[in-house]
Amino acid sequence: MQRRSFLKHASLGAAAGGAVVAAPALAQDMPSVSWRLASSFKPGLPTLYGAGEAFCRYVDEASGGRFRIRPSAQGSDGVQVFEAVAGGAVDCGHGFASACFAKDPALCFDSAVPFGMNARQMNAWMLEADGLKLTRDLYQPHQIINLPLGNTGVQMGGWYRKEIKTLADLKGVRMLTAGLAGEVLARLGVVPQQVAADEVAGALGKDTLDAVEAASPSDDEALGLQKLAPYYYYPSWWEGGAQATLYISAPAWDKLPRHYRSLVEAASRAAHASVTARYDARNPAALSRLTAAGAQLRAFPRAVLDAAFEASTEVYRALADKDPRFKAIHGNYMGFRDQLLPWFRVSESAYDQYLMSMALAAGRQR
């Protein structure tokens, strides 16, 4: 009896002692961390800005409030957000790497490039092939860790005040564009312009601007540009799948426990997938409303696309001659794209083309 009583009390004591020991260990495993995310997107772009908010919420909830990231809008200057993260002013940021073309043209491969991959192909390259490794190497000198955080899918090709029927119609067109797309468009005769976002409508109205790069219909709808530049062209051959990036300060990343890093990666992937889904769900209705409001849909003529493809090849060659890193990542990226295209031709493309033909036939029968 005394022995059983001793063992019972000893067991209770060990259990109590174990609880006392476990509490500090748990606290060490789940430290309190507070970060700030600087977004280059304004709240007026609910899908892209909302992706950053969703990412922060996932991290907060999954950590039980121990790891909190506060999002804040920084406007449309993606370069400033990049530099803020690189300089350690903020812990992480959200933006399009293509905005950093002047800093390093190769960074555009972490976003979108002329005649590049669509959203699904980009995901395959980033998450299952060499994309993430190669882009990480580009960010290393800037002390940044990158993760995908949203892909818009293929975007529209722009708002134009006049129709583009031939390549000659692009000569002298003053267009709001920049970066890698601007380099290619300039070779086609376009005159790239830089205009503040809140001055675009005024510039179109005063005839000092002829065209504006477009985004997705659900984002473009709020701009009302169909009243000033009614021709809405597609597709955006320079943004077949525009991927946004989560920039993370490498020193801040290094301080995180391993399970917090896994949490960040999981949260970013969840938010990343939701962006394409949301655009796909909202763009059809937005496009219908835009055309009802006066937007005139136009496809780029094949001759224009062919000239743009040739000009893109020339720009890529010139950049590759200057920078072996650009040459290496360009070769890997385009090589992977070309490997995927035959599969998409016999699967997605063939299936979609058939369904569209049947939908058109059904529409004629009605």
Report the pLDDT averaged over residues 199-209.
Answer: 91
Pairwise pLDDT comparison (55 vs 8), residue with the higher score? 55
pLDDT at 247 over 70: yes
Predicted local confidence at residue 30, as pLDDT:
86
Report the pLDDT averaged over residues 74-94.
Answer: 89
Q: What is the 3-state secondary structure (H, E, C) of the chain?
A: CHHHHHHHHHHHHHHHHHHHHHHHHHHHHCCCEEEEEEECCCCCCHHHHHHHHHHHHHHHHHCCCCEEEEEEECCCCHHHHHHHHHCCCCCEEEECHHHHCCCCHHHHHHCCCCCCCCHHHHHHHHHHCCHHHHHHHHHHHHCEEEEEEEECCCCCCEEECCCCCCHHHHCCCEEECCHHHHHHHHHCCCEEECCCHHHHHHHHHCCCCCEECCCCHHHHHHHCHHHCCCEEEECCCCCCCCEEEEEEEHHHHHHCCHHHHHHHHHHHHHHHHHHHHHHHHHHHHHHHHHHHCCCEEEECCHHHHHHHHHHHHHHHHHHHHHCHHHHHHHHHHHHHHHHHHHHHHHHHHHHHHHHHHHHHHHHHHC
Predicted local confidence at residue 31, as pLDDT:
93
pLDDT at 5 over 50: no
Predicted local confidence at residue 12, as pLDDT:
36
15 band by pLDDT with thresholds 50, 70 and 90: very low
Report the pLDDT averaged over residues 180-191.
Answer: 98
28 band by pLDDT with thresholds 50, 70 and 90: low
Report the pLDDT averaged over residues 57-74.
Answer: 94
Cβ–Cβ contacts within 10 Å for residue 358, how many?
10
Predicted local confidence at residue 29, as pLDDT:
75
- Are the beta carbons of 263 and 59 closer than 8 angstroms? yes
Structural domains of the chain, with CATH: 33-152+241-281 (3.40.190.170), 158-240+294-336 (3.40.190.10)
Predicted local confidence at residue 355, as pLDDT:
94
pLDDT digits (tens, 9 = 90+) for 294-349: 999 999 999 999 999 999 999 999 999 999 999 999 999 999 999 999 999 999 99
**Cα gap 205→212, rounded to integer Å:** 12
19 band by pLDDT with thresholds 50, 70 and 90: very low
Tokens standing for residue 223: 């701009």
**Cα gap 362→366, rounded to integer Å:** 6
- Report the range of poorest mean pLDDT among 26-35, 131-140, 210-219: 26-35
Predicted local confidence at residue 361, as pLDDT:
85
pLDDT at 235 over 50: yes
Residue for token pair 């985004």: 215
Predicted local confidence at residue 167, as pLDDT:
97
Q: Please state the pTM of the whole predicted model.
A: 0.90
Pairwise pLDDT comparison (197 vs 335), residue with the higher score? 335
Predicted local confidence at residue 25, as pLDDT:
42
213 marked as binding residue: yes
Predicted local confidence at residue 336, as pLDDT:
98
159 band by pLDDT with thresholds 50, 70 and 90: very high
Report the pLDDT averaged over residues 145-170.
Answer: 97
Pairwise pLDDT comparison (75 vs 212), residue with the higher score? 212
Predicted local confidence at residue 228, as pLDDT:
94
Predicted local confidence at residue 195, as pLDDT:
87
348 marked as binding residue: no
Percent of the chain with pLDDT over 90: 84
83 marked as binding residue: no
Report the pLDDT averaged over residues 193-197.
Answer: 88
